[in-house]
Amino acid sequence: MELGQMMKKIAKVSRSLPLTAMMENSQDVWGIKDCDSRFIYTNRAFLDFLNVPQGFYVIGRRDDELPTCIAEFALIIQKLEREVIKSGQKITLIKTHFFGREQKLQPYLYETFPLHNKRNKCIGTVFYGRKLAIISLPHYVGKLTATLLFEPHSTLFTQSELRIIFYLLRTMSAKEIGKKLARSHRTIENRIRILYQKAKVHSLRDFKHFCHQTGFDRTVPHAFIRPGIQCIE
């Protein structure tokens, strides 16, 4: 059977699955794959999530055949899907990359479940993804174990300033911060003064209190987050 005919057959089968009725209008990412990790169905949110070019036909292809950022992790994804099919248990991942049509660095909680037919035979996998507002990934930021915000509640500070704030709140001096960021201590001192002005405070003590009240003490700068896939369950 030619590839084009195969894709049409797979698409026809996918539309008959009851699951797709719920997935179709969801704002979250949903999709179905066969046992060979080929896409059987994806909703519109999935196409936007991976910034799939308009008109590109996903059905019948694998992750490594898509012109998307996630293609480089295809072998990892396929291995995990095989484990789901073999074990019959779901897996939970955090995927962090430049997702969405806006290509913004952000984490997604991603779950993959085994898909069984009426005879209880596994015929593929179902995946679900949603954007995370918070993360708890201590290995990204040294020994921290608290729940961390990926997106600040306010745009008061730039990403560059958030990096300084992160170190400043951990009682690092301007000289120490300068070494971390490859800047002179005088530059860092000037930036700290600007931070104080934005927060309308005059001391580190007051600035720490301001950050605690506004959540900036739990905000992770994007520079500290590495694109990748982490299995958490």
Predicted confidence (pLDDT) per residue in 33-58, tens digit:
999 999 999 999 999 999 999 999 99
Predicted confidence (pLDDT) per residue in 95-150, tens digit:
887 788 888 777 888 999 999 888 888 999 999 999 876 544 444 444 443 456 66
Per DSSP, what are the bridge partners of residue 229? 95
Of 158, 161, 137, nearest to 149 (Cα)?
137
| Cβ-contact 227, 106 below 8 angstroms | no
How far apart are alpha carbons 12 and 23 in whole angstroms? 16
How far apart are alpha carbons 191 and 178 in whole angstroms? 11
Residue 14's pLDDT band, with cuts at 50, 70 and 90, is: low
Of 101, 92, 44, 38, nearest to 65 (Cα)?
38
In terms of pLDDT, which residue wins out, 66 or 139?
Answer: 66
Predicted confidence (pLDDT) per residue in 205-226, tens digit:
999 999 988 888 877 777 766 6
